[in-house]
Amino acid sequence: NLYVSGLPKNMTQQDLENLFSPYGRIITSRILCDNITVRQFVCGAGDSIPCLSKGVGFIRFDQRIEAERAIQELNGTIPKGSTEPITVKF
């Protein structure tokens, strides 16, 4: 499992998978949400998100080498829609 922090608050699970999918086969992904948030955010695909992201997520790749490559390529980068770099680690 990779721990990802510093994600944009409006990032969806699909956005997260799109960001990491070039590095290997994703088994599972998850973005932690703030359940206190009542507002609904709508993503480009028309999916309704009932909560606001906490800016933290998890990605699990099929193979460790894929996860290591994702860390090497994405740790410290600034994803689209953000002004802050993300942290990607085991």
Query: Comparing C-alpha atoms, which of 10, 3, 22, 1 is closest to residue 86?
Result: 3
Query: Comparing C-alpha atoms, which of 48, 49, 20 is closest to residue 32?
Result: 49
3-state secondary structure of 73: helix
**Domain 2-89 is found in CATH 3.30.70.330:** yes
Task: Break the chain into its structural domains and give their ranges.
Answer: 2-89
Average pLDDT score over residue span 6-15: 92
Higher pLDDT, 3 or 82: 3
12-42 pLDDT, tens digit each: 899 999 999 999 999 999 999 876 544 444 4
In this prediction, residue 80 carries a pLDDT of 87
pLDDT at 47 over 60: no
With bands split at pLDDT 50, 70 and 90, how would you rate the model's confidence at 51? low
Give strand ranges (E) for the chain.
2-5, 26-34, 41-42, 48-49, 52-61, 87-89
Q: Count of residues for the chain?
A: 90
In this prediction, residue 76 carries a pLDDT of 98
63-82 pLDDT, tens digit each: 999 999 999 999 999 998 89
